[in-house]
Structure formats: C-alpha cells, structure tokens
Amino acid sequence: MVSIDTVMSPLVWLSLQTAILSASLRVVATESTCLAGSAPAPGVPEALRPSQAWTNLQSLKPGATVTVVLGTHRWPVRWVPAGRFVMGSPSDEAQRDKDEVQHEVVFTRGFFMAETECTQAQWEAVKPTNPSHGKAPDQPVNQVSWPEAQEYCRALTRRHREAGLIPEGWEWDLPTEAQWEYACRAGTTGPFAGDLNALAWIESNSEGKAHAVKTRSPNAWGLHDLHGNVWEWCRDWYGDYPTNAVHDPTGPSAGTFRCYRGGSRLYGTRRARSAIRGAMTPELRGDYLGFRPVLLPRP
C-alpha cells in the first residue's frame, strides 16, 4: 500500500478522479487457447475500449473472455462460437429421461455466456434487495423466480448501455435450453463435460451447502458450475424436442412451465447430466435455483 500525505490541488484531484472513473468503465478482453476436453489457458489480459471489444467476433477462439466492468463490479463472459452439436442424450445413456430426444442444433451466431452463475454481488449491483437464503457475495444468487431473473437481465442491459459498455443491439438475457446445453458440453458428447467430481458441487461432495462460484474446475470453454451448485433458469417454455435439425431454436411459443438446467448441490449425478431437463412454474423460487445470463446480439 502506498500512502500519500501531501495535499493535492483541486486540479490534480480532479485529474486523479477522472483517471479512476475512466479505468472503472473499461472492458477487459482476454483470449485463451483451448482444445475440446481441456481447460483453457489463462491468456494475457488486454484493456480495450468498449467499441473495440465487440469487433472481429468471428476471429475469437471458443472460451475467449471479455469482462464488462462498471464501477467496482465485474461481469466476466466467455465466447461461445457459432457451430452445431447434437442436443439431447443417446438412447443408451444411463439414467436418461424420455424427453431428451437427440436432434441436431445449428447456431448461426455466436454469443457470450457468463463465466459463472449470477453471484449475489452481481445481483446487488443491479437490484436493491438480495432474496438469497444464505448471504454471501461470491455465491450464486438464489430464491429468484423466472420473471425476476428476466428483469435483472433487462436492468443490466440498461445499465451497461447507458455506460457505453455494450453495443447497440446487444443485450443480456437468459440462455435458451439449446444455448445452455451447447455451452455446457463445450464440444463433449458424454453425460458430463469432463470429470463430474472436479466440475461440480453435487450431493456427494457439497455437504448440502452452497459454495462460492469458480471453486470447481471449468469446462473446456472456461465456464464454471454449469454442472451442480444451483439449477439455472433458461428462457424457454418447456415442450417436446423436435426430431429434425433446427437453427437457432428458441423453444415453444407458449407453455405452462419454464425450463431450468444443470443440477444442484442437493442432487446426484443423474440430475447433473448435460442433457437433463427441468421445468417448473415461472413464479417458483428455491435456494437451489439461480440463473446465468448470456450477452448476445438480437437478429
């Protein structure tokens, strides 16, 4: 720590405050080289102007990271590139459900996904009240209904647009089921995106307790806690999967239940599989249920 005992002039003080404010409104971008099935390299951070962070998206490697910084709060996201994958589970996958019908999904546009579940600190940066059971800034926010998670995304979009941190036409939202599973798998095809015990807080290792984000290993695209910790709301209404190939799917146009994915600390391996689907009424809450936003352009 450096202590400055001299009395600064008003001009020097103003210059210092301007520099601090400018630094707090930057976007930090890091590219990481990653291979399917392996953790990404940490990369070398590079400070970019907001207008630079969103150019040349097609050249970004899977898992490249951009951290949106507003004041003292940070929202790290990882790049999920356009591509295709097989959604659902094969008929011989252990403990599969009948609603996991396999079908090809093609993404024509990439998107950024939050590196972790929305933390309580990130929630409190936008919303006045933290609804979580068990207050801890580095743990996932919980006890959030689907409409409340959507309102958070809209409010975060407004904040970041007003500060000039995200481009016009981009917004925060909940991921679709297809976006969630594509990002979770990160090129893998098995029940999990790697060694589940290393990736996830689940019933067998969590002691029934909530845990801070990023305390388990990431998947190959640098995303933490997609398996376990808390379930994560998705944008879709729950419905049957198609059997044919689909492009940029958004799920049914109407329904009764909203989807959630990923398992939690209270459930075992079956409920932590990449393909597992959950659904409940949008207004329900639970200390096992949170969300993870995506940052993406609207067509």
Taking the domains of the chain in order of start, what are their residue ranges?
A: 80-297
The confidence score (pLDDT) of residue 58 equals 78
Q: Which residues contact 148 (CB under 8 A, 6 or more apart)?
A: 131
**pLDDT tens column, 79-88:** 999 999 999 9
The confidence score (pLDDT) of residue 249 equals 97
- pLDDT more than 70, % of the chain: 82
Lowest-confidence range among 54-58, 119-123, 146-150, 156-160? 54-58
**Residue in 115, 156, 152, 155 with CA at minimum distance from that of residue 132:** 152
The confidence score (pLDDT) of residue 55 equals 75
Q: Please state, in angstroms and rounded to a whole number, the distance separating the CA atoms of residues 61 and 71.
A: 28
Phi/psi for 224 (5° steps) reads -100, 150
Q: Which residues contact 42 (CB under 8 A, 6 or more apart)?
A: 30, 32
- Please classify residue 290 by burial: count the beta carbons closer than 10 Å to its beta carbon, then call 0-12 exposed, 13-18 middle and 19+ buried: buried
**Confidence bin at 24 (pLDDT 50/70/90):** very low
The confidence score (pLDDT) of residue 266 equals 95
- Which tokens belong to 203? 């019933």
* More confident: 14 or 88: 88
Domain spanning 80-297, CATH class: alpha beta
Residue position matching structure tokens 């409340």: 148
**Helices then strands, each counted (H, E), the chain:** 6, 14
Lowest-confidence range among 105-109, 161-165, 273-277? 161-165
Please give the DSSP secondary-structure letter assigned to residue 119.
Answer: B
- Please classify residue 281 by burial: count the beta carbons closer than 10 Å to its beta carbon, then call 0-12 exposed, 13-18 middle and 19+ buried: exposed
- Which tokens belong to 33? 């080289």
**pLDDT tens column, 165-219:** 998 899 999 999 999 999 999 999 999 999 999 999 999 999 999 999 999 999 9
Q: Give yes or no for a contact between 193 and 205, defined as CB atoms under 8 angstroms apart.
A: no
